[in-house]
Amino acid sequence: MADLSRQSKPLFPIGVVQELTELSARQIRYYEDQGLIKPERTETKRRLYSFNDVDRLLTTKEYLDKGLNIAGIRHLLDETVVREAVVPEIDKKDMTDGELYKLLKNQLKEAGRPGKTSLIQGELGRFFK
Amino acid sequence: MADLSRQSKPLFPIGVVQELTELSARQIRYYEDQGLIKPERTETKRRLYSFNDVDRLLTTKEYLDKGLNIAGIRHLLDETVVREAVVPEIDKKDMTDGELYKLLKNQLKEAGRPGKTSLIQGELGRFFK
DNA sequence: AAGACATGTAAGAAAAGTTAACATCAACTT
DNA sequence: AAGTTGATGTTAACTTTTCTTACATGTCTT
């Protein structure tokens, strides 16, 4: 079982997360709306993100870039078990044909590359160069 | 050599550091004034603290509690090399007699305990229970 | 052409952070 | 005993960040 207290401790305000992920505040909040992350709130309603949240945001970014839509990414992120395929078990029902096409096209380009990145990696190695 | 990019990446605004250390903003800024930490600044002058800074603040807190003064702690923190004594090489010139007494009194109570804590510990284990 | 999706942008309000100054109180110093 | 110093609290005025809500936009998708 993963160490939750470290990975999911609420630490970062949205500004830092923007820096860390190169996403806009709008995007970060939208992904929350869409259920991809659930940052904590301070008593005064400010969001505080954990390393785990940042990790999920980075994953989201990657997969959006590869042509997945948010519904697909939601499924991806919800899978606790790591798959071995480069793009694991995508729920095609959630994708339009155009999206599937983009996805497959990217599959070709990405073939043979790491791909499964974040879901496997533990700790913080991901956040720093 | 320690991994600097991870440990010293500027991440936390002062509010989070207050939470993490249970120090007041006043204390945190004062310790900076005294040269115990040197947090980064954003372009708009806001302080951003690293894990390393937080670690030094926790160390500061511990040793203040044990009766050291800030000058003494500054020396302590500046020693890159870890000593084996429970309280390593304290510069007595920087302490008043009363302080030295408190220190020694605490030495007795603390004898046989870890003591060297943070300077040895790497990574983030320290920040989470 | 009309929707849906992902993102941008703007406005107004609340919270957090900054510097600087003065206050306090215990512990030394003389 | 009176005066200093060290560490911290408090306050004030100001700047920056974050929040919510709403409307705008461009690119698919149907």
Q: Which CATH class is domain B4-127?
A: mainly alpha
More confident residue, A75 or A100: A75
Highest mean pLDDT among B6-10, B46-50, B119-123: B46-50
Handedness of CA B18, B53, B13, A119 (dihedral sign): negative
Of the pLDDT bands very low, low, confident and very high (cuts 50, 70, 90), residue A124 is low
- State the average pLDDT over residues A8-21: 97
- Mean pLDDT for chain B overall: 74
What is the spatial distance, in angstroms and rounded to an integer, between the CA atom of B101 and the C1' atom of D2?
Answer: 25
CA distance A105 to B79: 55
Query: What dotted CATH number matches A4-120?
Result: 1.10.1660.10
Contacts of A124 in chain B (CB under 8 A): 6, 124
Q: What is the DSSP string of chain A?
A: ---HHHHT---B-HHHHHHHHT--HHHHHHHHHTTS---EE-TTS-EEB-HHHHHHHHHHHHHHHTT--HHHHHHHHH--SPPSSSS----GGGS-HHHHHHHHHHHHHHTTS---HHHH--TTGGG--
Of the pLDDT bands very low, low, confident and very high (cuts 50, 70, 90), residue A6 is confident
Handedness of CA B10, B14, B15, B20 (dihedral sign): positive
- The partner residues of A24 in beta bridges, in order of sequence, read none
**Using only C-alpha atoms, what is the Rg of chain B?**
15
Confidence check: pLDDT of A120 > 60: no
User: What percentage of chain A reaches a pLDDT higher than 90?
Assistant: 55
pLDDT of residue B6: 79
Question: Between B51-65 and B70-78, two packed helices, what is the crossing angle to 10 degrees?
Answer: 130
- State the average pLDDT over residues B81-108: 40
- Tens digits of residue pLDDT in A54-98: 999 999 999 999 999 999 999 999 885 344 334 443 443 344 433
- Mean pLDDT for chain A overall: 74
Nucleotide nearest B60 (Cα, C1'): D7
Nucleotide nearest B14 (Cα, C1'): C17
Contacts of A5 in chain B (CB under 8 A): 128-129
Confidence check: pLDDT of A48 > 50: yes
Question: Which strand D bases fall within 7 angstroms of a protein CB?
Answer: 6-10, 15-20, 28-30
Cβ contact, residue pair B6, A48, below 8 Å: no
- State the average pLDDT over residues A97-106: 40
Of the pLDDT bands very low, low, confident and very high (cuts 50, 70, 90), residue B129 is low
- Tens digits of residue pLDDT in B72-92: 999 999 885 344 333 433 333
- Tens digits of residue pLDDT in A29-41: 999 999 999 999 9
User: What percentage of chain A reaches a pLDDT higher than 70?
Assistant: 59
CA of B66 vs chain A CAs: smallest distance (Å): 28
Lowest mean pLDDT of A125-129, B54-58, B107-111, name the range.
B107-111
Question: Between B14-21 and B25-33, two packed helices, what is the crossing angle to 10 degrees?
Answer: 100
Cβ contact, residue pair A12, B9, below 8 Å: no
- Locate B14 and state its tokens: 């002062």
